[in-house]
Structure 1
């Protein structure tokens, strides 16, 4: 098991997430812990596209550097968080997620991943 996967597995264990993935800024998967049926490559590509657009919006609207993108759908959340300049962590959570706890655990995992990259 790689060092990134250990961090992602601990995040899932602590929060009950449906999945987590670490993706390069150019849309390539680095490490993932996902439920069967979720495609790592597809998540990576979509995440990079969303991150790129989010960064542009944040800069154009003078909101500073992008920290996080949260998408709320009928069946849950997708949260993208930058990990340094070269990667993004994507987490998938259902509607029952406790967002305060989840965001706190994401921050911890983000810091651990930054130290590893």
Structure 2
């Protein structure tokens, strides 16, 4: 778990994001950094992901890989790590959205190498 937390922490520092979490497909929190109520956020995220996956399947647009939410206080980017796990990052600054989305995708690829998340 320390390796996952270290990877997330490096991501937060490099992107100036404020928080991150990793959850499984059932909404169980694997780990989170700088996030209150991580268990609740993971469960709600799993619901959003499930509905988004079903929506995309119903309209024949493929499978969900990355999710972007813009809020009044920032940006939420989620990325599939693999079929069973998802990483979510929160940032107050969405000014460089393209870079943040690419970096989150790279984070997911790096996390997919971790034996706990395989």
Q: Do these two structures clear the TM 0.5 threshold for a shared fold by scoring above it?
A: yes
- The one of the two structures with greater contact order (alpha-carbon pairs below 8 A, sep at least 6) is 1
- CA RMSD, aligned part only? 1.3
The alpha-carbon distance between structure 1 residues 78 and 33, as it changes in their structure 2 partners (threshold 3 A), is: same
1:69 to 46, 67, 71: 67
2:45 alignment counterpart: 47
Supply the distance in 2 between the matched residues of 1:100 and 1:53 (Cα, whole angstroms): 24
Q: CA deviation at 1:95?
A: 3.6
Segments of 4+ in structure 1 off by > 4 A? none
Aligned to 1:23: 23
Q: How many residues align?
A: 115
Q: Aligned match of 1:99 in 77, 97, 100? A: 97
Partner of 2:11: 11
Structure 1 alignment gaps of length 5 or more:
none
Distance (whole Å) between structure 1 residues aligned to residue 72 and residue 112 of structure 2: 31
Structure 1 range deviating more: 96-105 or 13-22: 96-105
Tell whether the 8 Å contact from 2:78 to 2:87 is kept in structure 1 after alignment. Answer: yes
After superposition, give the CA deviation of every residue in 1:31-83 in whole Å (9 maximum; x if it has no partner): 11124xx2111111111001100100111111101111111111111111111
TM-score calculated relative to the size of structure 1: 0.91
Q: Distance in 1 between matches of 2:94 and 2:75?
A: 10
Question: Structure 2: 5+ residue runs without aligned partners?
Answer: none
**Is contact 1:51-1:80 (8 Å) kept?**
no
What per-residue deviation string (whole Å, max 9, x for no partner) do you get for residues 7-40 of structure 1? 11111011000101000110111011124xx211
